[in-house]
Amino acid sequence: MALDRFSLEGSVAVVTGGSRGIGEETAVAMAEAGADVVPVARSEDALRETTERIEATGSETLLFPQDVTDREGIERLFEEVEERIGPVDVLVNNAGVNPYFGSTNELDPETWEHIFAVNVQGAFTCAQQFGRRIAEREGTGSLVNVSSVGGVVALPYQTPYTASKHAIVGLTKSLAVEWAPDIRVNALAPGYVKTEFTAGVRENESIREDILANIPQDRFADPEEVAASAVYLASDAASYVTGEVHLADGGMAAQ
Ligand code: NAP
């Protein structure tokens, strides 16, 4: 049956940035699709809400607050998930930040470093833990790296974020080739999604109208719409899809 190919039954997934927004909805959608899911983020209280939603689906989970920039902590995370639930065969690198909107000439180097530490090095650290463990057990898996429409086209006045999300596309393509045929690696590139991340731009009427004028579907996405793409990419429905940049951007990058 075609729909069976979307099932994640028997999978163990780690979703970084799983405490809210796209990551929370992805973690819950993957649990609904049958996976055991461990959401990862720094804030324990927000994470607990996600784990409660995962438990309500009947899937197993673990409360493991963790900063993705802490390499040893990420290693402990993969060890503990493997010990308590099972080996991880789906990773969604979704944790990300975008604290800077402004002139590149005014940007301080610490902000650039922080954005790259979370968006790129955090994703790399998790990917490496994931890949090494799959190689050791001669297993298979699926990695979904959350990039952005800003990983494909320019987002003006968001240079460090745009550069970090283009780096995620490079990481994705390189790993897809290196890790084939055992691990499929794809980038998921959302447009503007209704989460805390975009609250500032959505609340400012003139910026909001400028953005909407650039979105053929003329609306912001719900995080559940992006989560559905993540489930697809992680599942056997995408069994011949690797190295792809999957846009869920309402048509933005098509113009
Ligand atoms: P969000 O609502 O701000 O959520 C970000 C998540 O990342 C939270 O769970 C946050 O939890 C976690 N996080 C941040 N820094 C972290 C760190 N150092 N270690 C571990 N977790 C960390 O953002 P979102 O809109 O869901 O975005 C999720 C991803 O989609 C990001 O990679 C973003 O770049 C990408 N994206 C978003 C949009 C959009 O329009 N919203 C568009 C394109 C791409 P804690 O703060 O508790 O750690």
CA 29 to chain centroid: 13
CA 3–ligand 1 middle distance (angstroms): 29
Which residue range is the domain that position 140 belongs to? 2-254
Compute the distance between CA of residue 32 and CA of residue 172 in angstroms, rounded to an integer: 26
Ligand 1 atom closest to the Cα of residue 223 is 26
What SS3 state is found at 153? coil
For ligand 1, atom 9, the nearest C-alpha belongs to 17
In this predicted structure, the answer to whether residue 1 has a pLDDT above a threshold of 90 is no
232 assigned to active site: no
Catalytic residue among 100, 157, 161, 192: 161
Q: Which atom of ligand 1 is nearest the CA belonging to 69? A: 18
Amino acid at residue number 59? S
Average pLDDT over residues 198-222: 96
Look at strands 141-146 and 36-40 and give their pairing.
unpaired
The three-state secondary structure class of 101 is: coil
* Residue located via tokens 């090095």: 121
**Ligand 1 pocket residue status of 80, Cβ below 6 Å:** no
Q: Is the preceding omega at residue 39 within 30 degrees of 0, hence cis?
A: no
The overall average pLDDT reported for the chain is: 98
Output the pTM of the full model: 0.98
Question: What is the pLDDT confidence band of residue 171, given thresholds at 50, 70 and 90?
Answer: very high
Mutation choice for ligand 1 from 38, 94, 100, CB with most ligand atoms inside 8 A: 94
The domain total for the chain is 1
Q: Provide CB contacts within 8 A for 41, sequence distance 6+.
A: 16, 17, 18, 19, 20, 23, 47, 65, 66, 95
The string of pLDDT tens digits covering residues 53-105 is 999 999 999 999 999 999 999 999 999 999 999 999 999 999 999 999 999 99
Instruction: Tell how far the Cα of 98 is from the centroid of ligand 1, in angstroms.
Output: 8
CB 86 within 8 A of CB 60: no
Instruction: Measure 161 CA to ligand 1 centroid, in angstroms.
Output: 12
CATH value at residue 209: 3.40.50.720
- The model's pLDDT over 24-50, given as tens digits with 9 standing for 90+, comes to 999 999 999 999 999 999 999 999 999
